[in-house]
Amino acid sequence: MHVTEAVLSRRSVRSFRPDAVPVEVLRGVLEKAQRAPSGGNVQPWNAHVLAGEPLARLVASVAEVIPQGRSAHSPEYAIYPPELDGAYEARRYGVGEAMYAALGIGREDKRGRLGQFMNNFRAFGAPALMLVHTPRYMGPPQWSDIGMWLQTVMLLLREEGLDSCAQEAWAVYQKQVRACVAIPDDHVFFCGLAIGYRDAQAEVNRFDVPRAPLAEAVVFDGF
Ligand SMILES: Cc1cc2nc3c(=O)[nH]c(=O)nc-3n(C[C@H](O)[C@H](O)[C@H](O)COP(=O)(O)O)c2cc1C
């Protein structure tokens, strides 16, 4: 598979087949992803990968507190800046609307929307979930390094015929995550990465997620 094919065939998959992912495959992907670049070669990423019983335990422990609503949320960082506005906010809103439209869930259907969102906390049915953390003192440059590593992982997964969905949503249940996996207290829990094989028929995996035209993001000068 060429890099272009991996990039273009990657999408956030929100409905997985139950087929297990061989641990040797995941190990191979993560071994290669260690080659991801990072400022000063700090390699600030740390992760636990869950499957089977440990993953079922995490899903069950979060399911227990979901009925408490927001009072059970305890994110350790702002998932989106409160200032998010303009094109950035429109894109965030747009992907949600595109997804709900594909699922036939209308704007007024708060229950339907919440139900779809709550699928996050089953890792969308994925058989494996990676939980990513980093020391609290790491700053924006190191968080950006973690992003590079995550994308490297996601692209290498494509090469193995695997799919993924990065999931910041788990951050709101970091207490439950910490109760299930040993994340050091002086580390911040960043996100999950659901991993498995996509259900190619599921509408939630088929809608288009547009991107801004290149000119909105990049300026070329001196060519
Ligand atoms: C760090 C990160 C966290 C994300 N968290 C979530 C999440 O919690 N739930 C979700 O459904 N999608 C999540 N996404 C997926 C984004 O919504 C998605 O990448 C974006 O809309 C672009 O769509 P695409 O990945 O299908 O190309 C996350 C993506 C990234 C990079």
| Average pLDDT of the segment spanning 184-202 | 98
Listed residue (14, 3, 212) closest to 125, CA to CA? 14
Q: What gap in Å lies between CA 124 and CA 170, rounded to an integer? A: 12
pLDDT mean across residues, the chain: 97
Listed residue (180, 204, 153) closest to 31, CA to CA? 153
> What's the number of CA atoms in the CB half-sphere (13 Å) around residue 221?
2
For the Cβ of 122 lying below 6 angstroms from any atom of ligand 1, the answer is no
For the Cβ of 95 lying below 6 angstroms from any atom of ligand 1, the answer is yes
pLDDT at 186: 98
pLDDT at 98: 95
Three-state DSSP state, 205? helix
Q: CB under 8 Å to 179, separation ≥6 — which residues?
A: 61
**Which CATH superfamily groups domain 3-79+120-201?**
NADH Oxidase (3.40.109.10)
| Average pLDDT of the segment spanning 160-183 | 97
SS3 content of the chain, % helix, strand, coil (to 5): 50, 15, 35
User: Which contiguous run of DSSP H or E holds residue 46?
Assistant: strand 46-51
Measure 223 CA to ligand 1 centroid, in angstroms: 34
- What does the domain layout of the chain look like in residue ranges? 3-79+120-201
Q: Which atom of ligand 1 is closest in space to residue 13's alpha carbon?
A: 26
pLDDT at 82: 93
Residue 222 tokens, joined: 């001196």
Pairing of strands 128-135, 163-167: unpaired
pLDDT tens digits along 93-126? 999 999 999 999 999 999 999 999 999 999 999 9
| Average pLDDT of the segment spanning 20-25 | 98
pLDDT at 125: 98
Measure 158 CA to ligand 1 centroid, in angstroms: 16
With a pLDDT cut of 70, the percent of the chain lying above it is: 100
The order of strands in the sheet holding 128-135 is 46-51, 128-135, 187-196, 163-167
pLDDT at 117: 94
